[in-house]
Amino acid sequence: MVAEAFTVDLNKPLVFQVGHLGDQYQEWVHQPIVSKEGPRLFGNDALENFGHGILIKQLVFQFLTRTEWWAIPLIWLPVFWNLIRLITTPTTTHGVFGGGLLGYVMYDCTHYYLHHGQPSSDPGKHLKELYEYTSMAAVSPDAVTKEMEVLSVEQNPQAKNVVNAETHATSSKDSKVADSNGSHSSPPEDDDDDEAQGDGPSQDGGSEAAKKKKKKSKSKKKKGPPQQTDPPSIPIDELFPSGDFPEGEIQQYKDDNLWRTTSEEKRELERLQKPMYNAVRRAAEVHRQVRKHMRSILKPGMLMIDLCETLENMVRKLIKENGLQAGIAFPTGCSLNWVAAHWTPNSGDKTVLQYDDVMKLDFGTHIDGYIVDCAFTVAFNPMFDPLLQASKDATNTGVKEAGIDARLCDVGAAIQEVMESYEVEINGKVFQIKSVRNLNGHSIGPYQIHAGKSVPIVKGGEQTKMEEGEFYAIETFGSTGKGFVREDLECSHYMKNFDVGHVPLRVAKAKQLLGTINNNFGTLAFCRRYLDRLGETKYLMALKNLCDVGIVQPYPPLCDVRGSYVSQFEHTILLRPTCKEVISRGDDY
């Protein structure tokens, strides 16, 4: 066990003996020691306790467990505290001491659980196996080997057959040796056992099969990100656990801005803005999945209020609505026919979607105030296809022309040229499609759907240029009517003015309603259905009071002449430093 010239005396302190073992130390230290108290490191009791204390393993597993419970808080905690005070500054002493104490408690609890507990999860079981392996290694390597064999047999039925075969072979060999020495052989085993041993694979083949089966079982346990359900119900952030959401369509700048594509400085600016890009891409992915489902279920005969509530509830679920941090950016617009924008059914509305209707479905999502504003038009009658195609192509033209340093008037002129190149035949009468000259696209800011700049859809607009880092909603409206809208019908859309200051209110209900608006919408648009959903009742006079004093702005429906039809398409774009990203682009449009 040890060097011939030296033998360790377990009744004497070990610290001055083990150095004489030389190369035999590794063999000696793994031999089991049967002793009630265990060998000592030092002869002196004080040195013995101190020697245990300076070794981390002994500190956790032996010294503290052999010390009376009251010794730790009364003796060692003050010692550790004063030691830390000596080696740290006054501002860091409490943090270092608390962190060390917390780390020890966590470590000790983990050790206790692995020693006494029975983990049920795979990681817990694996940790317990490693713990038992290291604990047994200090006692006997042979015991480790046997224990691992038992674990392997329990986990792999095929390996059990191999062990049975080896056991049978060993017993047969022993019986032969006994016969040669003149002793009686043991009686033969049952036929069933022989068949089981005969069918079992060879030792090498069995171990290979066991390894393959174990690998397969592990691969089966590895699950990728969940797949979206139909209808969608899994939040988007759970579908992308890495936190990186899909990019929109990338369009390169041209002419004088072509250098941006390869500029390292601009690329670094984009890297700094990645959290913001991911937030708005998450909102865009919610928009894509919701509108894809809605397009698949839309059909004549649906109540408009049911349509809107289905869409909005789906948005709330996929985006994990959370107050002003994530949710719906503005009410669902589902304007019909000559109504161009800003119409959504109020509570109790019984409007039904018809086969010959042209519906503009305009809804928005946001994360941390970064808004995705995107819209499309639905028409069941193919007669309206040219009208829809006109506004779709005009919107894509506006997206293509937009960019850093592009003038807003030039974008509007390009949109009008494409829009008015279309005509549509409706019930035997041909109409030239017109751009609605008093409706515009717009810049978007955090928690601000209209951030100040307007993108016209006719020529002759302002000379203002688009700038780096701006968000824009490029939207176009094509009409068979006059191409000019006015406010009409019952109002449903409202929004708190972005720049409003303190305005004194005398009506108590108005004050209470303003608190509800601030807490739930801030400066995002809302509708009367949203107030109903929050439990507000008898609020119309209070809401009128807020509008009269200028705190809240009403947005009534915008209508062309009755009997006409208006279509709309819209995308949100981001003018990144190196390229233009169409945030809301999807497979549908």
The full DSSP string for 300-319 is TT-BHHHHHHHHHHHHHHHH
pLDDT at position 191, please?
Answer: 46
Are 507 and 405 part of one and the same domain? no
- Residue 169 located in a structural domain: no
Does residue 405 share a domain with residue 337? yes
Out of 362, 393, 536, 581, which one is annotated catalytic? 362
If one compares 156 and 39, the residue with the highest pLDDT of the two is: 39
* pLDDT score of 511: 95
405 is in an annotated binding site: no
Rounded to a whole number, what is the largest CA-CA distance in the chain? 118
Whether residue 7 lies inside any domain: the answer is: no
Residue with tokens 């040890």: 2
Residue 208 counted as domain residue: no
Q: Specify the number of domains making up the chain.
A: 4
pLDDT, tens digit (0-9, with 9 covering 90-100), for 397-454: 999 999 999 999 999 999 999 999 999 999 999 999 999 999 999 999 999 999 989 9
Residue 288: pLDDT band by 50, 70, 90 thresholds?
very high
Whether residue 329 sits in one domain with residue 314: yes
> Residue 27: which of 1, 8, 4, 60 has the closest Cα?
1
Among 54, 89, 113, give the residue marking a domain's end: 113
One-letter amino acid at 486 equals R
Can you tell me the mean pLDDT for 382-404?
97
Same domain, 547 and 452: no
Contact 97, 50 (CB under 8 A): no
Q: At what angle do helices 157-180 and 191-199 cross, to 10 degrees?
A: 120
Residue 315 inside a domain? The answer is: yes
Instruction: State which residues form the domain around 499.
Output: 491-555
Q: Is residue 477 a contact partner of residue 566, using CB atoms and an 8 Å limit?
A: yes
Among the ranges given (100-114, 155-169, 288-302, 509-523), the one the predictor scored with the smallest mean pLDDT: 155-169
Residue 539 has pLDDT above 80, yes or no: yes
| pLDDT given at position 138 | 47
Whether 450 has a binding-site annotation, put simply, is yes
CA distance 62 to 112: 13
Residue 373 designated active-site: yes
Q: Please list, in sequence order, all residues whose beta carbon lies within 8 angstroms of the beta carbon of residue 335, skipping any fewer than 6 positions away.
A: 341, 342, 343, 359, 360, 362, 557, 566
**Residue 173 counted as domain residue:** no
User: What's the CATH number where 547 sits?
Assistant: 1.10.10.10
Which CATH number fits the domain that encloses residue 423?
3.90.230.10
Tens digits of residue pLDDT in 542-571: 999 999 999 999 999 999 999 999 999 999
* The one catalytic residue among 373, 393, 536, 581: 373
pLDDT in the model for residue 151: 47
Q: Look at residue 79 in the predicted model and tell me its pLDDT.
A: 80
Q: What is the pLDDT of residue 350?
A: 95
CB 23 within 8 A of CB 49: no
pLDDT band at 11 (very low <50, low <70, confident <90, very high): confident
Question: What is the three-state SS of 76-124?
Answer: HHHHHHHHHHHHCCHHHHHHHHHHHHHHHHHHHHHHHHHHHCCCCCHHH
Annotated ligand binding at 190? The verdict is: no
Confirm if 446 and 469 have CB atoms less than 8 A apart: no
Q: Which of 357, 401, 570, 581 is catalytic?
A: 570
The pLDDT confidence band at residue 127, using thresholds 50, 70 and 90, is confident
Question: 3-class DSSP state for residue 363?
Answer: strand
Residues 513 and 415 in one domain: no
Do the annotations mark residue 420 as ligand-binding?
no
pLDDT at 124 over 60: yes
CB 445 within 8 A of CB 345: no
Q: What is the mean pLDDT of residues 337-349?
A: 96
Instruction: Give residue-wise pLDDT tens across range 137-155.
Output: 444 445 545 555 554 444 4
The per-residue pLDDT for 81 is: 83
Distance CA 152, CA 128 (A): 15
If we measure between CA atoms, which residue out of 556, 555, 376, 588 comes closest to residue 477?
A: 376
Q: How many CB atoms neighbour CB 328 within 10 A?
A: 22
d(C-alpha 408, C-alpha 459), whole Å? 9
Alpha-carbon span 461 to 450, nearest angstrom:
17
Q: Tell me, yes or no, if 237 is annotated catalytic.
A: no
pLDDT at 201: 45
Q: Do the beta carbons of residue 389 and residue 432 sit within 8 Å?
A: no
Residues 396 and 506 in one domain: no
Is 458 inside any structural domain? Answer: yes
Residues 401 and 360 reside in one and the same domain: yes
| Mean pLDDT on 201-218 | 56
Q: Between 365 and 61, name the one with better pLDDT.
A: 365
- Those residues whose C-beta lies under 8 Å from the C-beta of residue 222, and which sit 6 or more positions away, are none
Q: Is residue 141 part of a domain?
A: no
Say which of 410, 450, 468, 470 is annotated catalytic.
Answer: 450
Same domain membership, residue 570 and residue 427? yes
Tell whether 105 and 35 lie within a shared domain: no
* Average pLDDT estimate for 337-351: 96
For the ranges 87-96, 238-247, 361-370, 478-487, the lowest mean pLDDT is seen at 87-96
Distance CA 353, CA 369 (A): 32
In angstroms, rounded to a whole number, what is the distance separating the alpha carbons of residues 478 and 415? 10
Per the annotation, the verdict on 52 as an active-site residue is: no
Dihedral angle computed from the Cα positions of residues 53, 55, 60 and 66, in that order, rounded to the nearest 10 degrees: -40
Mean pLDDT of 25-42: 65
Kindly state whether residues 472 and 433 are assigned to the same domain: yes
* Spatial separation of the C-alpha atoms in residues 434 and 455, rounded to whole Å: 17
* Residues in Cβ contact with 589 at an 8 Å cutoff, skipping those fewer than 6 apart: 376, 392, 569
Average pLDDT in the chain: 82
Q: How many CA atoms are closer than 13 Å to the CA of 513, on its beta-carbon side?
A: 28
The answer to whether 342 is a known ligand-binding residue is yes
* CA pair distance 405, 470, nearest whole angstrom: 11
Of the candidates 475, 536, 560, 581, the residue annotated as catalytic is: 475
On whether the pTM is more than 0.85, the answer is no
One domain for residues 326 and 381: yes
Asked if the model's pLDDT at residue 134 lies above 90, the reply is: no
Give tens-digit pLDDT for 307-324: 999 999 999 999 999 999
Strand, helix or coil at 41? coil
The tokens 């962190």 sit on which residue? Answer: 99
388/254 same-domain check: yes
192 is in an annotated binding site: no
Best CA proximity match to 59, nearest among 68, 51, 70 = 51
What's the pLDDT at 62?
A: 44
Looking at residue 155, what is its pLDDT? 47
**Does residue 58 belong to any structural domain of this protein?**
yes
